[in-house]
């Protein structure tokens, strides 16, 4: 379900395919890292609550990264690695979209047809006035938030739904009949 949810979210949020869902192929590193983010950050709850507002003001990013690397705390290093995977994946996708900008016509065509949230956001951002434009950093932040917020929730909801359906045959039969009836009346769902 994690794999499925990441692919649903990748296409709907970012217009990007993480995984063609072929059996036996290794998980995208984003899946594994996203699953670890919440448990790891909860194990550093006190630090996050009381120290992070101070730590973020400590000198430039490079200096804070140096501090994190130097402090011998395994959990923090694991969290650092998770955050790096999530952030670097967003940067990679963002850069692959921006690379298209070189060819203005292809870029505009892709953005104008894209129904994913990122294309809509970038389309609106291109039309926005100078003071309303988002910095690249803000666009990246939106990508990571949306992908993370959508993935774990969707995989959990799908899993719970299938688990309950597997234990409640009557409900499963009712749902199956409703879907069959809807298909007979309206045909298959189309993505176009
Ligand atoms: C079954 C699936 C989902 C569940 C159960 C779920 C649940 C939640 C919950 C409980 C919150 C916190 C609300 C609050 O207390 O303020 C939230 C916030 C949020 N969710 Fe979801 N969510 C789901 C799917 C999604 C998807 C698909 C997206 C993106 C496309 C998404 C994006 C967000 C964002 C951006 C927020 C933060 C909103 C804000 O604070 O401004 N979620 N979600």
Under CATH, which number does the domain 2-186 receive? 1.10.630.10
Whole-number percent of the chain with pLDDT over 90: 43
How sure is the predictor about 110, in pLDDT bands with cuts at 50, 70 and 90? low
Residue 84: left if φ>0, alpha if ψ -120 to 50, beta else—which one? alpha
Give pTM, 2 decimals. 0.80
Query: Which ligand 1 atom is nearest residue 12's CA?
Result: 30
- CA-closest residue to ligand 1 atom 3: 153
pLDDT digits 0-9 by tens, 164-190: 999 999 999 999 999 999 999 998 876
- Phi-psi region for residue 21, left (φ > 0), alpha (ψ -120 to 50) or beta? left
Check the CA dihedral 12-142-28-154 and report its sign: negative
Kindly tell me if the per-residue pLDDT of 105 is higher than 70. no
Centroid of ligand 1 to alpha carbon of 82 (angstroms) = 21
pLDDT beyond 80 at 112: no
Q: How far is the CA of 162 from the centre of ligand 1 (A)?
A: 21
Which atom from ligand 1 is nearest to the alpha carbon of 156? 1
Q: Where are the domains of the chain?
A: 2-186
């Amino acid at each position: 379900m994690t794999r499925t949810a990441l692919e649903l979210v990748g296409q709907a949020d970012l217009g990007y395919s993480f995984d063609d869902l072929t059996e036996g192929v290794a998980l995208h590193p984003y899946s594994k890292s996203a699953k670890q983010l919440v448990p790891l950050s909860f194990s550093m709850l006190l630090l996050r609550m009381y120290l992070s507002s101070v730590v973020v003001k400590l000198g430039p990013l490079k200096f804070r990264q140096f501090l994190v690397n130097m402090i011998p705390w395994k959990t923090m290093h694991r969290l650092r690695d998770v955050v790096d995977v999530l952030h670097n994946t967003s940067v990679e996708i963002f850069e692959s979209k921006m690379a298209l900008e070189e060819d203005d016509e292809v870029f505009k065509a892709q953005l104008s047809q894209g129904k994913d949230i990122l294309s809509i956001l970038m389309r609106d951002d291109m039309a926005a006035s100078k003071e309303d434009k988002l910095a690249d950093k803000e666009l990246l932040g939106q990508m990571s938030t949306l992908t993370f917020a959508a993935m774990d929730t969707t995989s959990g909801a799908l899993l719970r739904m299938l688990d309950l359906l597997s234990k409640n045959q009557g409900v499963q039969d009712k749902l199956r009949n409703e879907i069959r009836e809807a298909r007979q009346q309206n045909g298959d769902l189309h993505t176009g």
